[in-house]
Each structure stands twice: as C-alpha cells, then as structure tokens.
C-alpha cells in the first residue's frame, strides 16, 4: 500500500503562504503517485483558527482536495497548535473519501464494504479485540498526550517518567493485533505526535532529556511495519530488520520552512507498506530558502556585499545578525544593509547588544567618608587610589576657575604627576 505522510502543516496567519504553497505542491505529487491513503500526523494548524479566517478556508480546501483522491487520517497534535475540538470540522468536508480525526488513543482500520466503498472503522476501546473483516490497513493512533493529566494523577515529579513508561506499555499492547494482521497479509502502521529520545531538532540539536515521550525500542515494540511521527520539523528515520520483518520509524518533518536556521529539505514522506516491510522516501516541497549572515562585531558592508554576490540572495529570506558593544549600538547602518539586500524576499535584522559590565563594591555604602569609598572602589577595580584621591581633593578645595586654569597650564596643581595616573580613563 502506498501512503502519503504529511505533518506539521502549521496553517496560520503568519505563514499561510508558505504552508499553502508547500502543502498544495505535496498534494499534487501525492495524487500523481496514486497514493491509496493519506496521513496527517498532527499540527495541521499553528494556533486556534476561526472558521472565517483565510488559513482555515485554505486548509479545508486542501484537505478536501486530498480526500477527493483517497481516504485521509488526521491526528490530534500539540494542544497549543491544535486546541481540542479544532479538527472536528474536517470529517464534514463532504469529499469523495472519508476523513477520520483521531483525538484519542485507538486503532482504526480501513475497510471495504460489500459495495466496494472504503471507510474508516475505529475500535471501541484503545485497540481492536480482533482484526475486522475486509481490512486493507490497520493503524494504531496515539495523539498528543496531556502531560498535565498525568502530572495530576502521579505528581509533577514523576510525570515525565510515568508518560514514557505508560506509552511503552501501550505500544507493546498494540502488538497482538498487528501480529494478527501481518499473519493475514494486511499492512500495519502506527501514527503518533511527540519526541523520540535522541532525535535531532530542525536546528540540529539532539533531543536528550527525561521528558520526551518515546524511544525507538518502545515504538518498534508495537510490531507495526511503519511508524509515522509528527512534531519534530526535521526528517529522520530509524530501521530494524527482525522477526517482525523490516520496520521503519520516520518523522516527515514540517511541510515548509517556517523558521530561520532549519537544516535539511522540507517535504512529505511517500511510504510503501506491505505486511512484512515498510520503506519511505522524502519528497521535497518548494519551501522557501533562508540564509543566515552573522557578524561577531559591527556588520561589514563590504563583506555583506560579497555574500550577496556569492549566494545569489535574490528572492531568499535573509537574516543578518551581529553582536556589538553598548557604545557601538548606534553605529550600525541598518538602512545600508536593507539597500544591499533589496532583492531578498524578506530581511530580518537581529542585533545583540553587549551591555557594559560594572563591578559592584560590596560594603561601600557602609563607609563613612567619600575618600574611604574611593579607596574601596579602587581596590576592587585594580586602580591606584592616590591619583583619584588627588583629583577628589582638587574638586573639594579648588574653584572651577582655578581647576580649569591649572589644566590649561600644566595640570601640576590639580592632578598628581605620578605615572600611575596614566592608565586612568579620561
């Protein structure tokens, strides 16, 4: 069975053009490949959407176009992106084939009735008691887990470990049905949304922590041939060839490039799944091109001009970053940078200001005289105090006119001639 696996569409106000262009191109390719089933593994939306918003209308139109070609399975993603109930409208689009939305842990089967009509049949509980008749595909669905509910049940300290332990037991519990389906020559898959321990983020950061939902061993234990994941925006996969045949776990990654600095191609996965094996291939989408140009100090316009010529930034989305000291923050010519990058589709300027660090002098407020405070400050700052005290004495004893006259002559009656004063700031 050929399955198109899409994930992390993130339809919303900010990135509607990117999401719709890439998802539309992916659907065109999936239809041309004559896929039998389409799976969207979470985060179809970027935030809560109202029905009248353009992002909602575009997403509904694309899902209906996909469902006119083949049955579609949608999974509940991250609650901050897809609020509970936000996907309930999709089964009502009225396409040629059914759309099933999995919002709870369950197994669903693609069945064909006596008239040859294909439909989704969901299990009554978290899994089937037996594989239904006339089944073409069995899918085990594990949507986003509500960690707050787990924390309320077992305590916040033990919540992360409890989620991982319970999910491992859950996936192992799917194995008997998948084993029965495999014996009957029926392809099996699992779909979920979360983080695999050891996976890489879209910025190349290893996801190594105790609060990640899955590990590859737990996912393989479901004995499904294909494990289709969402949430991480970088495509990556793991394979195991064992007693269950060739199993494959894969993230489709995000459909488009929604952030600067993301590594790798963007696209969707084209799966070929049979009863004893599964393989996938990443099909790239026309995601936008992003370029980062970074400077350790003030942006050098000549270097920037060379980068524009070397990388052909016409139509690209460019981010220029720099780091400057606080006193140089106004020396950056933003207008000149924008002129050099006039051909870019978007320019984002990010300047990081290094603040001036001043040494505090503990206990200085408790000293009685100003001279004692100056000695305390000089001791902590590594400054010879005599010169500063000489200046302080001149300020206390002399008039402004006398101090100015002394400075204009040779400064001998105002500032001590000791060489240690040469290193003091003016």
Whether the pLDDT of residue 152 is over 80: the answer is no
Whether residue 213 contacts residue 274, with contact meaning beta carbons closer than 8 Å, is answered with no
Question: Alpha carbon 115 to chain centroid distance?
Answer: 45
Per-residue confidence band for 414, with pLDDT thresholds at 50, 70 and 90? very low
pLDDT above 90 coverage of the chain, percent: 61
113-127, 172-186, 264-278, 377-391: range with lowest mean pLDDT: 377-391
The structure tokens 């029926």 sit at 186
Residue 260: C-alpha distances to residues 43, 53, 230, 300, 343 (Å): 19, 26, 20, 21, 18
| Predicted local distance difference test score (pLDDT) of residue 161 | 75
**How do residues 341-360 score in pLDDT, each as one tens digit?**
998 999 999 988 887 666 56
Report the C-alpha gap between 365 and 154 in whole angstroms.
51
Q: C-alpha dihedral over 147, 153, 154, 155, to 10 degrees?
A: 70
Report the C-alpha gap between 155 and 277 in whole angstroms.
40
Closest by CA to 63, choosing from 202, 255, 304, 342, is 255
Q: What is the mean pLDDT of residues 21-30?
A: 97
Give the list of residues 6+ apart from residue 198 with CB closer than 8 angstroms, or none: 206, 207, 208, 215, 216
Q: What is the mean pLDDT of residues 217-238?
A: 95
Please state the pTM of the whole predicted model.
Answer: 0.80
Whether residue 190 contacts residue 225, with contact meaning beta carbons closer than 8 Å, is answered with no
**Pairing verdict, β 245-251 and 236-242:** antiparallel
Residue 393: C-alpha distances to residues 369, 405, 412 (Å): 13, 16, 13
Q: What is the mean pLDDT of residues 155-179?
A: 84
Q: H or E segment at 72?
A: strand 72-75
| Predicted local distance difference test score (pLDDT) of residue 214 | 86
Give the list of residues 6+ apart from residue 163 with CB closer than 8 angstroms, or none: 145, 147, 150, 211, 213
| Predicted local distance difference test score (pLDDT) of residue 418 | 44
Q: CA quadruple 138, 144, 149, 151: dihedral positive or negative?
A: positive
Give the DSSP per-residue string, 243-274.
TTEEEEEEE---SS--STT--S--EEEEEEEE
Closest by CA to 250, choosing from 214, 286, 276, is 214
Q: H or E segment at 386?
A: helix 385-397
Whether the pLDDT of residue 323 is over 80: the answer is yes
Q: What is the mean pLDDT of the chain?
A: 88
**Pairing verdict, β 290-295 and 277-284:** unpaired
Per-residue confidence band for 330, with pLDDT thresholds at 50, 70 and 90? confident
Residue 55: C-alpha distances to residues 255, 271, 403 (Å): 15, 28, 72
Find which of 110-114, 195-199, 280-284, 294-298 is predicted with most confidence, using mean pLDDT: 280-284
| Predicted local distance difference test score (pLDDT) of residue 359 | 58
Q: CA quadruple 78, 81, 86, 90: dihedral positive or negative?
A: negative
Give start and end residues of each alpha helix (H) in 10-103.
Answer: 16-32, 54-67
Q: Any bridge partners for residue 251, and if so which?
A: 229, 236
**How do residues 69-87 score in pLDDT, each as one tens digit?**
999 999 999 999 999 999 9
| Predicted local distance difference test score (pLDDT) of residue 269 | 97
Six-digit token string for 14: 């900010």
């Amino acid at each position: 069975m050929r399955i198109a696996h899409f994930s992390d569409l993130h339809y919303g106000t900010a990135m509607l053009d990117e999401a719709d262009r890439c998802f539309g191109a992916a659907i065109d390719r999936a239809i041309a490949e004559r896929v039998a089933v389409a799976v969207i593994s979470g985060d179809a939306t970027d935030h809560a959407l109202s029905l009248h918003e353009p992002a909602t209308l575009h997403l509904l139109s694309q899902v209906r176009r996909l469902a006119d070609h083949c049955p579609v399975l949608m999974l509940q993603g991250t609650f901050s992106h897809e609020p509970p109930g936000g996907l309930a409208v999709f089964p009502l689009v009225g396409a040629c084939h059914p759309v099933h939305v999995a919002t709870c842990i369950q197994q669903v089967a693609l069945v064909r009735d006596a008239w040859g009509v294909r439909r989704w049949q969901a299990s009554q509980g978290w899994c089937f008691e037996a594989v239904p008749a006339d089944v073409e595909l069995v899918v085990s669905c594990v949507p986003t887990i509500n960690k707050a509910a787990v924390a309320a049940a077992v305590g916040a300290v033990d919540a992360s470990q409890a989620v991982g332990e319970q999910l491992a037991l859950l996936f192992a519990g799917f194995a008997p049905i998948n084993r029965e389906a495999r014996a009957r020559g029926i392809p099996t898959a699992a779909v979920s949304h979360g983080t695999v321990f050891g996976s890489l983020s879209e910025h190349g950061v290893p996801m190594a922590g105790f609060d990640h939902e899955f590990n590859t061993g737990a996912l393989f234990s479901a004995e499904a041939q294909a494990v289709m994941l969402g949430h991480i925006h970088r495509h990556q996969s793991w394979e195991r060839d064992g007693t269950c045949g060739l199993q494959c776990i894969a993230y489709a990654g995000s459909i488009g490039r929604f952030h600067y600095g993301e590594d790798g191609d963007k696209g969707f996965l084209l799966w070929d799944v049979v009863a004893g094996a599964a393989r996938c291939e990443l099909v790239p989408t026309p995601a936008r091109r992003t370029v980062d140009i970074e400077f350790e100090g003030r942006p050098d316009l000549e270097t920037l001009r060379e980068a524009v010529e070397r990388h052909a930034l016409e139509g690209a989305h460019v981010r220029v970053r720099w780091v400057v000291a606080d006193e140089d923050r106004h020396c950056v010519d933003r207008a000149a940078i924008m002129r050099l990058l006039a051909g870019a589709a978007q320019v984002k300027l990010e300047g990081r200001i290094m603040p001036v660090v001043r040494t505090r002098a503990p206990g200085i407020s408790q000293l009685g005289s100003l001279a004692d405070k100056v000695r305390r400050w000089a001791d902590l700052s590594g400054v010879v105090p005599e010169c500063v005290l000489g200046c302080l004495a001149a300020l206390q004893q002399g008039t402004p006119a006398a101090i100015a006259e002394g400075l204009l002559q040779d400064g001998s009656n105002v500032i001590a001639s000791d060489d240690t004063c040469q290193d003091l700031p003016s």
